[in-house]
Copies of this chain bind each other. A is one copy, B any other.
Amino acid sequence: MNQITQENIQVGEIANGLPLSIPVYRVQGDGSGPKVYIQANMHGAEVQGNAVIYQLLEQLKHLPLKADVTLVPYANPIGCNQKSGEFTLGRFDPITGTNWNRMYVDHSHLVEEFIETHLDCSLEQIKASFRQRLLDHTNTQLAQPHDRINTGKRIALNLQRLAHEADIVLDLHTGPISAKHLYCPEYAKPSASYFNIPHVLLIPNDFDGAMDEASFCPWWKLQQAYAEKGRQIPVFTEAFTVELGSQEKIDLEEALNDANSLVSYLTYKQAFSGSPQQPEEMTRYACTLENYRTFYAPMGGMIEYTAKPGDKVEAGQTIAKILRMERYLSENPLNTISIDEDAITILHFASASVNQGTELFKFFTKYEIL
């Protein structure tokens, strides 16, 4: 049975002066596999990843482990304890409005100087040295005077420090009311088929503040820079945002399915000496980020979502009905909303009350079979 250890890392302090900490679990493999980092619940309401980490830990105890795996549930100790009304208000810092998953730091600028001095190094040297640069740079930022770092950045940098140690980074999220989907960097597209996730969003290899991007962008840019110099090296790291379904929901059986999905991918990445899980057969759909369409509420009202997460809809098909009862006599109180192109419904808003312009749906459009 593999040993699990726990460390608690302080990531801040709250108003009464007490520390904010996150629990970090580590399972050691035989040293021959990749290093894996998995975190969950960066957004407060997106709790299901904690259940997936539970199911993973239960399995990792017994699996023939080559990889070293680090797992962080409750990655954001402010977000997961912040209520406003009955619901968890954890998508953004309640003080500043900043999305907690847009606070990570881009280290891609390290590439330029690095490549000058490491052009002819071995792959192993490149990987080790560049990883060290990422860690050093993260540590330098954390070592700034405390008055230079804001709350979200301090949490993000602490997590990023853990992530930069890994070859594989999985950030477990959920949508509001959502089908399972995977944010996959374009260069890692072949890996997407090893997850049991039918919807794959191909994102460009650019940085927009999220954990997955912070983890893979520097490595992808390193590979690009070497290619420009005429040397082909692999992208040494893969990072994904795994959207597990809907927020505000714990489902332990589904968490086991998702744990199996992650084990299937990790099996493919040589994390185990045997083959604990193979990917399920399913049709997987891919959509590029530019075709990932946000559909805003065209009017304010009370909404019935008739297109459900995972539903394919055709151009012209009804996706929602919007009821407006203030002017029942003078306007049509029940409005039918449709979309003007074929699409797969990925997620919809969590509430039935919408202002004009509220983000109502997200759709895969111009999607293909992966």
Contact = CB atoms under 8 A, between A and B. Distances in A.
A85 B18 CA distance: 21
A15 B81 contact: yes
B352 A47 contact: yes
A13 B356 contact: yes
A332 to B, nearest CB: 11
Contact of A321 (B92, B252, B352): B252
A87 B358 CA distance: 12
A297 interface: yes
A153 interface: yes
Contacts of A334: 54, 252
Interface in A277-297: 294-297
For this chain, the copies found in one complex come to 4
A264 to B, nearest CB: 22
A6 interface: yes
A147 interface: yes
Contacts of A359: 96, 150
A188 interface: no
A28 interface: no
B81 A14 contact: yes
A73 B54 CA distance: 36
A276 interface: no
A252 B323 contact: yes
Contact of A16 (B92, B150, B248, B326): B326
A304 interface: yes
B298 A95 contact: no
Contact of A12 (B78, B149, B357): B357
A356 B151 contact: yes
B16 A74 contact: yes
A300 B98 CA distance: 19
Contacts of A182: none
Nearest to A334: B54
A351 interface: yes
A109 interface: no
